[in-house]
Amino acid sequence: MFQGRKLYRIPEEGKVKGVCAGIAHYLDIPVTLLRVITVLSLFFGLFAFTVVLYIILSFVLDPLAPEDANAAMPLNRQQLLDEADSILRQGEGRLRDVERYVTSETFSTRSRFRQL
């Protein structure tokens, strides 16, 4: 499930040291949800455990997630043009699908039923 992933602190997104933000990104859950769980654990009998664990993680975890190798290298003009062309082709395909649906009998029939 978590193969190839490493746990990091993300201070830019964090409120204190970025521990909750890093754990939330690692687990793929909303940061706010993890913060609420952390605060609730403080009030429901896990105060010492939560504080000690947070302090330990703030010192043990690396402060920043490493940048992707591709993101670190700037793209040349041809790569940028290819990427822009790909994005435009995808958008054009979606636009054609919408146009095909709006001009279809299915759309006109559904809109007539909605007007009833």
Same-domain pairing of 87 and 32:
no
What pLDDT, on the 0 to 100 scale, is given for residue 73? 55
Last residue in a domain, options 66, 83, 102: 66
Same-domain pairing of 27 and 45:
yes
Same-domain pairing of 41 and 82:
no
What pLDDT, on the 0 to 100 scale, is given for residue 19? 86
Collapsing DSSP to helix, strand or coil, 89 comes out as helix
What pLDDT, on the 0 to 100 scale, is given for residue 70? 44
Domain that holds residue 11: 1-66
Same-domain pairing of 35 and 76:
no
* CB hemisphere CA count around 19 (13 angstroms): 16
Same-domain pairing of 52 and 7:
yes
Same-domain pairing of 45 and 87:
no
pLDDT tens track for 4-43? 677 888 877 778 888 888 888 888 888 888 889 888 988 8
**Tokens representing residue 89 in the block:** 């082709």
Same-domain pairing of 34 and 84:
no
Q: Which residue is listed with tokens 């204190």?
A: 16
Same-domain pairing of 54 and 104:
no
Nearest-Å Rg of the Cα atoms of the chain is: 24
Cβ–Cβ < 8 Å for 13, 21: yes
Cβ–Cβ < 8 Å for 32, 16: no
Same-domain pairing of 60 and 77:
no
Same-domain pairing of 7 and 43:
yes
What pLDDT, on the 0 to 100 scale, is given for residue 95? 92
Same-domain pairing of 14 and 44:
yes
pLDDT tens track for 52-92? 988 888 888 877 645 543 454 566 788 888 888 999 999 99
Euclidean distance between CA atoms 7 and 74, whole angstroms? 26
Region 93-110 average pLDDT: 89
What pLDDT, on the 0 to 100 scale, is given for residue 2? 60
Same-domain pairing of 1 and 45:
yes
What pLDDT, on the 0 to 100 scale, is given for residue 89? 92
Split into its structural domains, the chain has a count of: 2
Q: Which residue is listed with tokens 């609730």?
A: 40
